[in-house]
Chain A
Amino acid sequence: MKNLLSIQNLTTGYRLKKGETRLLHQNLSATLSEGEFVAVLGPNGAGKSTLLKTVLGFIPALKGEISYGEKKLQDISIKELATKVSVVLTDKIEDTYVTVEEVLLTARYPYLSFAGDYKEKDRAVVDQAVSLTGIDALLMRKLHTLSDGEKQRVMIARALAQDTPLIFLDEPTAFIDSPGRVELMHLLKAIPSEGKSILMTIHDVELALHFADTLWLLGKDGSFEKGNPRELINKGSINKLFDRGKVKFDKVTRRFV
């Protein structure tokens, strides 16, 4: 299978004052292939979002290489990257006049000409994203009147309408109740897997184990492990990462007890 994203010997972290750095992870290598659903798991503060932002080029990588297909990240313009990756972020949209429809239409900006006219193809892609996420009834609503779950569906529809081979999501289940989370995961799982891959940070371990094809485990100590859920559970990696005090991960029921 084709690699859509490959990360080689990546070091993530932040540059502080002159010369000083705060390292999060070193020598991290991983790939994301066509149709793969990857969940990035780790305790709070392990650097999940930092990894995501580094891969997107929002934060500079301290070392190592990130490539999309054959092309290195530093050789890809911001405009070109917009046709390769779409995102669902935790950022709040505050403008009270923005409608769901207007949010969806921004997804086509990477493809529009200077005049900004929507073509037949743009309409078709947006309409398809709307029906896949089931947000038909919300189109004319103002975004700020929606519930958190509805908002997240809209942002996923927006990412789909951007029609990119990769979709990155940062904590998509935050602020959503339990049934809503499961519903959202089913929606993500149903995204046509032909050519589309998903990379998602999440702190809900049980959900990630159930839905993801591959897990990337980030430890607070800078450790990194990857593999399919069953493998990692049997190896005791989940226990190593999350067990604390009396709370332990049970390998059989796949729950914390």
Chain B
Amino acid sequence: MTSAFTKKPFVMPLLLLVITMLLLVMVNLWLGSVTISWGDVLSTIFSSPTSSQANIIIWDYRMPQVFTAVAVGMGLSVAGLLLQTVFRNPLAGPSVLGISSGASLGVALVVLTGSAFGMDVLQSNMMLNDMAVVIAAFAGALAVMAIILYVSGRIGNVVTVLIIGIMLGYAVSAIVGVLQFFSGAQELHAYVLWGLGSFAKNSLIRSEIILLATAVLVVSSYFFALPLNAMLLGENYARSLGFNLKKYHTLLFLLAGLLIALGTAFTGPIAFIGLAVPHIARAWFNTSNHKQLIPATLLLGANLTLLCNLIARLPGLDTSLPINAVTSMIGAPVVIWVIVKRSKMKVT
């Protein structure tokens, strides 16, 4: 008799992803406007630095970028996966809860109205104003998340939460629009630059903290694999399997919200990663089981952001393209491919 416990190849592809990720990390450290030999890269990371220049470039510039890219790739992708399952909607992503818009509002308030309150965000000490931006973004994201959690705790219906999240996003964007309308050219430019996203804004220490916090949240999402699988059958079936959905929804919104806040506040909003990566993971691993999807998604996410970071730095190797432009150019075709594939599957 056929047993319902067949093992699918799963560990090998994951291992492959770990290897490609490590390779991408190395290439990210090696490639850039200043050429560093492979030998110098390796000795700088693993033993004593051979030259002080290589040491500075790698530890002060390239390593923080790598850590940030990995953290954001893992975090946003897993957040997207959680939200797509909770909302049972393939087009759900980090933007649907309005949390990244909340971060944008926080930054807009500080950057665009800062001068009106005598807080000269643009001209003052670089480090300090940068910190103000991060705090503002985080506060904005958490404020929207608090509203979402309140709504989800009061009303059990996820569709209501979805609609309120999207509407909050619109409302918040409208406020940002008004702020932009009344702000000066310099401030506007600074805000637009923030909105294009960059992995290169963080110091080594800060990037390590982002990576660590993201890793903790991503790993804890693994403990929700069973309720997430049950949710794929619909809310009534999930409940009949013993899962208190109100509780799990609120916890998952909290988890996804923190990941999005982390992934937005320190880099600016990064488009399409959270939406596209879970689809790539499902298609590649050909499964809906979250015990496999969560590790697959986080590794694919890290690989993709590292790749995007490379592409952003490639042309001429002098300046880097805005990361948001690169993730959108890669993410949009992926989403189109998924939608086309889905509609084909429905027909046959």
List chain A positions with a Cβ less than 8 A from chain B. 56, 58, 78-83, 85-87, 89, 91-99, 101-107, 109-110, 112, 114, 116, 118, 123, 126-127, 130-131, 136-137, 139-140, 144, 162
Instruction: Report B91 CB to chain A, min CB distance, Å.
Output: 13
B315: Cβ under 8 A from any A Cβ = no
Instruction: Report B86 CB to chain A, min CB distance, Å.
Output: 12
Given A91-B234, A102-B287, A127-B1, 5 further pairs, Cβ under 8 A: A79-B243, A93-B233, A118-B5, A126-B5, A130-B4
Choose among A78, A105, A139 the residue that contacts B242 (Cβ–Cβ < 8 A). A78
User: What are 6 A-B residue pairs whose CB atoms fall within 8 Å in the complex?
Assistant: A78-B243, A91-B236, A96-B345, A98-B232, A106-B233, A139-B6
- Say whether A95 contacts B237, CB under 8 Å: no
Residue in B4, B5, B88 whose Cβ sees the most chain A Cβ within 10 Å: B4
Choose among B2, B4, B223, B241 the residue that contacts A109 (Cβ–Cβ < 8 A). B241
B282 proximity list for chain A (CB < 8 A): 97
Expressed in whole angstroms, the Cα–Cα distance for A246 and B286 within the complex equals 55
Expressed in whole angstroms, the Cα–Cα distance for A103 and B346 within the complex equals 19
Residue in B230, B242, B289, B342 whose Cβ sees the most chain A Cβ within 10 Å: B242
List chain B positions with a Cβ less than 8 A from chain A. 1-6, 88, 223, 225-226, 229-230, 232-234, 236-237, 239-244, 282, 286-289, 291, 342, 345-346
A87 proximity list for chain B (CB < 8 A): 236-237, 240
- Say whether A102 contacts B288, CB under 8 Å: yes
Choose among B233, B287, B291 the residue that contacts A97 (Cβ–Cβ < 8 A). B287
Expressed in whole angstroms, the Cα–Cα distance for A237 and B241 within the complex equals 37
Instruction: Report A100 CB to chain B, min CB distance, Å.
Output: 8
- Say whether A116 contacts B240, CB under 8 Å: no
Expressed in whole angstroms, the Cα–Cα distance for A114 and B236 within the complex equals 22
Expressed in whole angstroms, the Cα–Cα distance for A188 and B327 within the complex equals 52
Expressed in whole angstroms, the Cα–Cα distance for A87 and B239 within the complex equals 10
Known A101-B6, A102-B288, A126-B4: A110·B241 in contact at CB below 8 Å: yes
